[in-house]
């Protein structure tokens, strides 16, 4: 079991992306993802942060990636774990879980 806390960033916007009609909003995805990860990896440290791509925080790295999402017309929400894009548009839990397991997280039975 890992003792390192990883940071999971969910980049999105209030408005659903044009190619993502009928999918949950970025904020809904963020909330769903945080709950799903907490159930899958109980009592293991992680942080999920939502970043509005049109109003990013002052942090240079997060601001730069938010601009990239907009400029490259990426499908959002975009899920990033420790700098690696693991989901875009409609992120898959299986992919996110696999990335966390590769970083030492142990799934619950």
Q: pTM of the entire structure? A: 0.92
Domain locations in the chain as residue ranges: 7-102
* CA distance readout (Å), 34 to 59, 60, 73: 22, 24, 25
> Which CATH number applies to 7-102: 3.60.15.10, 3.40.30.30, 3.50.50.60, 3.40.50.150?
3.40.30.30
Span 43-85, pLDDT tens digits: 999 999 999 999 999 999 999 999 999 999 898 999 999 999 9
pLDDT confidence band for 3 (50 / 70 / 90) = low
Q: At what angle do helices 26-40 and 93-102 cross, to 10 degrees?
A: 50
């Amino acid at each position: 079991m890992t003792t390192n806390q990883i940071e999971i960033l969910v980049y999105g916007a209030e408005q659903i992306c044009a190619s993502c009609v009928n999918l949950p909003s970025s904020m809904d995805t963020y909330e769903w993802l945080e709950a799903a990860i907490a159930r899958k990896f109980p009592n293991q440290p992680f942080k999920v942060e939502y970043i509005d791509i049109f109003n990013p925080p002052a942090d240079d790295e997060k601001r730069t990636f938010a601009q990239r999402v907009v400029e490259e017309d990426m499908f959002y929400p975009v899920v990033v774990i420790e700098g690696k894009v693991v989901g875009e548009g409609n992120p898959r839990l299986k992919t996110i879980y696999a990335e966390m397991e590769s970083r030492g997280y142990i799934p619950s039975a």
